[in-house]
Amino acid sequence: MADQGLVKETACAVVEKLKAGDVTPLDLLDVLEQRIAEVDRKVNALPTLCFDRARTHAKALMQKPVGERGLLAGLPVPIKDLTAVSGVLTTLGSPIFKDNIPAKSDILVEQLEQSGGVIYAKSNTPEFGAGANTFNEVFGPTRNPWDTSRSAAGSSGGAAAALASGTAWLAHGSDMGGSLRNPASFCGIVGLRPSIGRVAHTPKFGVDRTLGVQGPMARNVEDLALLLDAMSGEHAADPLSLPALPTSFLSATCSGKTPKRIAYSPDLGITPVDPEVKAVTRKAAERFAEAGAIVEEAHPDFREAHECFHVLRAFDFAISKAELLRTKRDLLKPEVIWNIEEGLKLTVEKLERAEAQRVAMTQRALEFFDKYDLLLAPATIVPPFPVENRYVAECDGKKFDNYVEWLGIVYAITLACCPALSLPCGFTASGLPVGLQMIAKPRAEAQLLAGAKVLEDILGVRGTTPIDPRPPR
């Protein structure tokens, strides 16, 4: 019988058990298969399972000495359904690809498997990752384990819900406009958008697409760092990829290094924020003072963020999906059609302006980090909303112009090329999780993770997941 007590263990603890020979990768797959059967129908986090492939891989891994099984030593990891896994259904959340089985894995998957990860499932995502609520016409919606009437956010909503409900110890996700940070916030787990190039992936449609990055999700900061270590490293097939650093992210996380000066902003100067979210994140940020840090209210100037992101995102959709619009329009959801059409209408002058705006915002952020070690802000501007709502239409009295504008507090950071994570920092009065966005200068993930661990220890929210999915209240 699979030991279901393992579900509540941290990823780091489970890896230690693997290395000590106390459990095997096959034992862990048995645990997950049973847990998924018990809870996943309530949340729909992992709609595609590949346990036969996982067990074949696990058995091959177990032929090696324990010391040669990689950083993860056989720990199972689910992959977001936007990323190819060889021989496994990969739908991108779209009816167009509902029968798509890639012959070759993305290099990110290959890297994880080389690091001892065992792929056992694909996590749910909105169509093409478009939108911060995880639903699609192939598998339906993913529900929030804290309240199954609520959204898990997106686009890595399946990954976040799996972590929160105990069907994953670690999970892969990706982030363009907050897709690692939003679901982490809604589901009470940790999600990191790394710097451009930190995690290699197979380039598609363009070598230099830098709005979207791949990254790790976990239930706590140390586990997050472990997965980032397993994901990181350069690869010739990804010309933007960075070499692995000499010091592991996990050791940097556990260094105890405390940031000296921290900025908190309730809104980055560009967006409305729900008053309760504002209050919870401010209170959490101020607790950094308990570690001796100076906490001040400040933020870089992000005034061009909405215009800039709208243009660059639309351009990215045009170069990656215009062919689908021409040939499969009737199978695309309205938001995706809108994004592609916005991109096809762009002029070179608009692109020129948006690229200049991004350069300016990045430069101002770099100057800001000359004074501050970290910038803190809400990770999402609202608590988890009803799963039936396609997106947030208004907040604190302001109506939004389109379905992505409510994400400005995260996509401003995307544009500034900064690594950022969402850390669980408290709960609303109704018991729903709130995430604090923590941001560092480009390529300073080690500093960011160390600071996040210090605050995580102060807040004491670690260990609130996994939970059994909870019915609507």
CATH code, domain carrying 326: 3.90.1300.10
Is 473 inside any structural domain? no
Catalytic residue among 155, 165, 195, 422: 155
| Residue 153 neighbours by CB distance under 10 Å | 34
Is 13 inside any structural domain? yes
Largest CA distance in the chain: 64
- The CA-atom distances, in angstroms, between 450 and each of 20, 220, 419 are 27, 12, 13
Whether residue 179 lies in the annotated active site: yes
Of the pLDDT bands very low, low, confident and very high (cuts 50, 70, 90), residue 131 is confident
Of the pLDDT bands very low, low, confident and very high (cuts 50, 70, 90), residue 121 is very high
Sign of CA dihedral 447, 457, 227, 246: positive
Q: Do 244 and 233 form a contact (C-beta atoms < 8 A)?
A: yes
Any residues with CB less than 8 A from the CB of 469 and at least 6 apart, and which?
39, 42, 43, 143, 145, 148, 165
Whether residue 94 lies in the annotated active site: no
Is 46 inside any structural domain? yes
87 token code pair:
């021989």
Is 467 inside any structural domain? no
Is 217 inside any structural domain? yes
Task: Sort residue 306 into left (φ over 0), alpha (ψ -120 to 50) or beta.
Answer: alpha
Residue 118 has a pLDDT of 98
Residue 297 has a pLDDT of 98
Is 348 inside any structural domain? yes
Which residues sit opposite 17 in a β-bridge? Answer: none
Residue-averaged pLDDT of the chain: 97
Residue 1 has a pLDDT of 59
Whether the pTM exceeds 0.85: the reply is yes
Structural domain count, the chain:
1
Of the pLDDT bands very low, low, confident and very high (cuts 50, 70, 90), residue 24 is very high
Residue 264 belongs to domain spanning? 4-459
| Nearest to 187, CA basis, from 467, 451, 471 | 467
Catalytic residue among 115, 151, 179, 422: 179
150 token code pair:
């609520």
Is 15 inside any structural domain? yes
Catalytic residue among 80, 122, 278, 453: 80
Q: Do 190 and 227 form a contact (C-beta atoms < 8 A)?
A: no
Is 163 inside any structural domain? yes
Residue 154 has a pLDDT of 96
pLDDT digits (tens, 9 = 90+) for 264-281: 999 999 999 999 999 999
pLDDT over 90 (residue 43): yes
Helix pair 11-20, 221-231: axis angle to 10 deg: 60
Q: Do 311 and 350 form a contact (C-beta atoms < 8 A)?
A: yes
